[in-house]
Structure 1
Amino acid sequence: MDFIALVFHSFSLLLDPMNLAYVIMGFIIGTIFAAIPGLTATLAMALLLPLTYTLNVETALMASASIYMAGMYGGSITAITINIPGAPSSMMTALDGYPMQQQGNGAKALGHAALGSMFGGAVGTLLLIAVAPFVAELSLLVKTTGKFSLLAFAIVVVVIAQRGRIPQAGLAACIGLMLATVGLDAMEPITRFTFGYSDLTAGIDLMPVIIGTFAISEILIQASTHTNMAAVAAAAEKIKIRRRDFRPPLSEIRKIGFVCYFKSCLIGYFVGTLPGAGGSMGSLLAYTEAVRTSHEPETFGKGNPKGIAASESANNAVCGGAMVPMLTFGIPGDPITAIMLGVLIINGIQPGPQLMADQAGLIAPMLATLLFSAVVLIPLTLYLIGPYCIKIVSIRKDLLYGVIALLAVVGSYVSTYSTFQMFMALGMGVLTFYLRRNGFPVITMLLGYILGPNLEEFLRRSLALSNGDPMTFLTNPDSLFFVVLTLIFVYFLAIRKPAKKPVTGQSE
């Protein structure tokens, strides 16, 4: 209860004009990046990460939280209006949102998306606030062997969650683990894999890895992709939206029903707690469940507002769920929380069981900002700038990506003041570009890089305590629990075949 009271007391920090300005700026930037096809909120946070060096910890985390919530919501704008999801988590939203746009109800569809996002973000954050302290207390029961098994479980789940490309995901995770071994040994004062370069003694810095993985590789991907942006801009120019059109009718909200909203939020939240699952899986499962339980399943994919509500409620609830493993175990639930983990580490905060007890005052403002962004900024942003949001797709791509390239290179240098690390960011960008072009999911590589040092440390400590006996991972109850859990997930996600293809309701 003390932590819950601390979170709600942290709303007072939003009264500080500077904090509020950064939160609003972060939300607007996250919305714009999520709405522009090809850009993501992950890219926005990667580019703005160097700015956290100039901010205090609370403000940096509050700005990151607002970008996160905006990123989950903003992708619905172009998904509904021009059938191009701005973010992967909005793919299911486009199934019913774009047909509504074609029927002349695009503004109403955006209103339903905002309402679902607001509800999902609020419920997910409230569940996070209520559950995280208890999860942190339970995590204190996990000892050294259990921590290794937990980290191994996280990597395995992220790999097997990439259905259809598990070998590529596994290889990408191994690349990340290999990158994590460069530099000083985790247990002994010796260097490894530096190849005589003194600049590699401290290893590869987190900042160049993030900027290279998300920003520079995205620039290369977009440069190699030929998209008829003139047609997209022309479609955007034809759309006329008035502010009063955004309010969804109360009759449609009642028809969707509280049960649909709340069930979708729970699905999104619990999917978010699984490392690597992300908003795409949450929105897909919630949409499928909405179709399954509907009395009119044939209307989905043809402009049913319930499909929008289910999808958006779930993908915004993922925000709260993904923060649970990140805060209590230091395991990011998706790419954005991976960068938020970097913000914590850069500011000297080590996520883990003691975080809620020792540094709750730093975490509480971030959770308060998540709730504020969901309840206040989502509807406010839609009402004030909704009619203009779709116009952002008309921005010239050469100018846009030129600015992004400049910010990425300058940011990677300013973060470390090392020319070597700046070129390392460029190298990571090229590596990630080729991985993405060949179907390798880069989130597994990033997770392997972030979790690699702790995975190695807990493995070696566990074997040292047991005199080299690997059976220690099966004889300790906490470790055995995660081993069994890993086997269960492997069976259901990788071995057992689904009975039938889930119905999405999309019309052919």
Structure 2
Amino acid sequence: MDFIFLVFSSFSLLADPVILTYVILGFVIGTIFAAIPGLTATLAMALLLPLTYTLNVETALMACASIYMAGMCGGSITATTINIPGAPSSMMTALDGYPMQQQGKGALALGHAALGSMFGGAVGALLLIAVAPFVAELSLLVKTTGKFSLLAFALIVVVIAQRGRIPQAGLAACIGLMLATVGLDAMEPVTRFTYGYSNLTAGIDLMPVIIGTFAIAEVLTQASSRADISAATAAASKVKIRRRDFIPPLSDIRKVGFGVYFKSCLIGYFVGTLPGAGGSMGSFLAYTETVRTSDDPESFGKGNPKGIAASESANNAVCGGAMVPMLTFGIPGDPITAIMLGVLVINGIQPGPQLMSDQAGLIAPMLAALLFSAVVLIPLTLWLIGPYFIKIVSVRKDVLYAVIALLAVVGSYVATYSTFQMFMALGMGVLAFYLRRNGFPVITMLLGYILGPNLEEFLRRSLALSNGDPTTFFTNPDSLFFVALTLVFVYFLVIRKPAKAPAAATSK
């Protein structure tokens, strides 16, 4: 209860004009990046990460939380209006949002999307605030061997979640683990894989890895793409939206039903707690479950507001769920929380069981900003500047990506004041570009890099405590639990064939 009181008392920080400005700017930037096809809120956070050095910890984390929430709801704008999801989590929204746009109900579809996003974000944030302290207390029961098995479980689940690309995901994770071993040994004063190059003694910094993996690689990907966006630009110029059209009538909300909102929120939240699952999986499962339980499943994919509500409620609830393992175990649930983990580490905050008790005063404002963004900023932003968001798809791509490239390179230098690390960011960008081009999911590489040091440390400590006996991972109850959980996930995600989605959910 003390932590819950601390979170709600942190709303007083929003009375500070400077903090409120950063939170609002973060939300607007996250929405714009999520709405532009090809850009993501992950990229926005990666570009803005160097700026966190100039802010105090509370302000930086609150701005990151607002970007996160904006990134989940912003993709629905172009998904609805021009049938181009601005974010992967909005793919299911397009199935019913775009047909409503074709029927002249585009603004109403965006209103349903905003309402679902607001409801999902609020429920996810409240569940996070209520559950995270108890999860942190339970995590104290996990000893050294259990911590290794937990990190191995997270890495394995992220790999096998990439269905159809499991070998590529596994190799990308191994590359990340290899990068994590460069520099000083974690337990002995010796250097590894530096090849006599002194700049590698301290290892590869987290900042260039994140900026290179997301920002530089995205610029290279877009530069090599020959996709014609003229049709999208023409469609954007024809869209006319009035502010009053965004408000869904009460009769429509009743037709959707409270049950659809709440069930989708729970699905999204619990999917978010799984490492690597992300908003796209949460929205897909919520959408298919809504189709399965509907009295009129044939109407989905043709402009049913229930589909929009289910998808957006789930993907925004993922925000709260994904932060549970990130805060309590240091395991990011998706790419954005991986970058947020970087913000914590850069500011000297070590996620883990003690975080909620030792540094609750730093975490509480971030959770307050997450809830504020969902309840206040989502509807307010759409009401005030929603009619203009669709126009951002018309921004010239050569100018846009030139600016992004400049910000990425300058940001990587300013963050470390090291020319070597700046070139390392470029090198990581080229590596990530070729990995993406050949079907390798870079998120598994990033997760391997982030989890690698702790994975190695807990493995070596466990073997040292057991005199080199590997059976210690199967005889300790906490470790055995995660080993069994890993086998369960392998069975359901790899061995057993997943159930096919309803035809209506995949018809477009």
Matched residue SS, 1:498? coil
User: How far has the Cα of 1:274 moved from its partner?
Assistant: 0.1
Q: Can you list the C-alpha shifts for 1:293-346, whole angstroms capped at 9, x where unaligned?
A: 000000000000000000000000000000000000000000000000000000
- The equivalent of 1:337 in structure 2 is 337
Q: Is the 8 A contact 1:174 1:445 kept in 2?
A: yes
- The equivalent of 1:375 in structure 2 is 375
Matches within 5 A, 1:201-212: 201-212=201-212
- The equivalent of 1:494 in structure 2 is 494
User: How far has the Cα of 1:99 moved from its partner?
Assistant: 0.2
Residue 483, structure 1, aligned to residue 483, structure 2: yes
Q: Is the 8 A contact 2:180 2:452 kept in 1?
A: yes
Residue 365, structure 1, aligned to residue 351, structure 2: no
CA distance in 2, matches of 1:501, 1:37: 25
User: How far has the Cα of 1:503 moved from its partner?
Assistant: 3.8
- The equivalent of 1:14 in structure 2 is 14
Structure 1 residues 335, 504: CA separation in 2 closer, same or farther (over 3 Å shift)?
farther
Q: Can you list the C-alpha shifts for 1:338-392, whole angstroms capped at 9, x where unaligned?
A: 0000000000000000000000000000000000000000000000001000000
Matches within 5 A, 1:49-60: 49-60=49-60
User: How far has the Cα of 1:32 moved from its partner?
Assistant: 0.2
Q: Which amino acid aligns with 1:61?
A: L
- The equivalent of 1:45 in structure 2 is 45
- The equivalent of 1:237 in structure 2 is 237
Matched residue SS, 2:19? helix
Structure 1 residues 41, 482: CA separation in 2 closer, same or farther (over 3 Å shift)?
same
- The equivalent of 2:388 in structure 1 is 388
Residue 33, structure 1, aligned to residue 29, structure 2: no
State percent identity of aligned pairs.
Answer: 88
Aligned residues: 508
User: How far has the Cα of 1:443 moved from its partner?
Assistant: 0.5
User: How far has the Cα of 1:170 moved from its partner?
Assistant: 0.3
CA distance in 2, matches of 1:255, 1:470: 57
Q: Is the 8 A contact 1:291 1:503 kept in 2?
A: no
- The equivalent of 2:319 in structure 1 is 319
- The equivalent of 1:199 in structure 2 is 199
Matches within 5 A, 1:78-477: 78-477=78-477
Q: Is the 8 A contact 2:292 2:502 kept in 1?
A: no
Matched residue SS, 1:491? helix
Q: Can you list the C-alpha shifts for 1:23-65, whole angstroms capped at 9, x where unaligned?
A: 0000000000000000000000000000000000000000000
User: How far has the Cα of 1:254 moved from its partner?
Assistant: 0.3
User: How far has the Cα of 1:228 moved from its partner?
Assistant: 1.6
Q: Is the 8 A contact 1:302 1:507 kept in 2?
A: no
**TM-score calculated relative to the size of structure 2:** 0.99
Q: Can you list the C-alpha shifts for 1:148-174, whole angstroms capped at 9, x where unaligned?
A: 000000000000000011000000000
Over 3 Å off, 4+ runs: 499-508
CA distance in 1, matches of 2:228, 2:405: 21
**TM-score calculated relative to the size of structure 1:** 0.99
Q: Is the 8 A contact 2:287 2:505 kept in 1?
A: no
Structure 1 residues 143, 507: CA separation in 2 closer, same or farther (over 3 Å shift)?
closer
Q: Is the 8 A contact 2:474 2:480 kept in 1?
A: yes
CA distance in 1, matches of 2:220, 2:152: 32
CA distance in 2, matches of 1:223, 1:326: 33
User: How far has the Cα of 1:498 moved from its partner?
Assistant: 2.5
Matched residue SS, 1:352? coil
Structure 2: runs of 5 or more not aligned: none
CA distance in 2, matches of 1:293, 1:499: 16
Q: Is the 8 A contact 1:177 1:452 kept in 2?
A: yes
Matched residue SS, 2:240? coil
Matched residue SS, 2:469? coil
CA distance in 2, matches of 1:418, 1:143: 38
Matched residue SS, 2:505? coil
CA distance in 2, matches of 1:391, 1:500: 37
Q: Which amino acid aligns with 1:261?
A: Y
Q: Is the 8 A contact 2:233 2:394 kept in 1?
A: yes
Matched residue SS, 1:204? coil
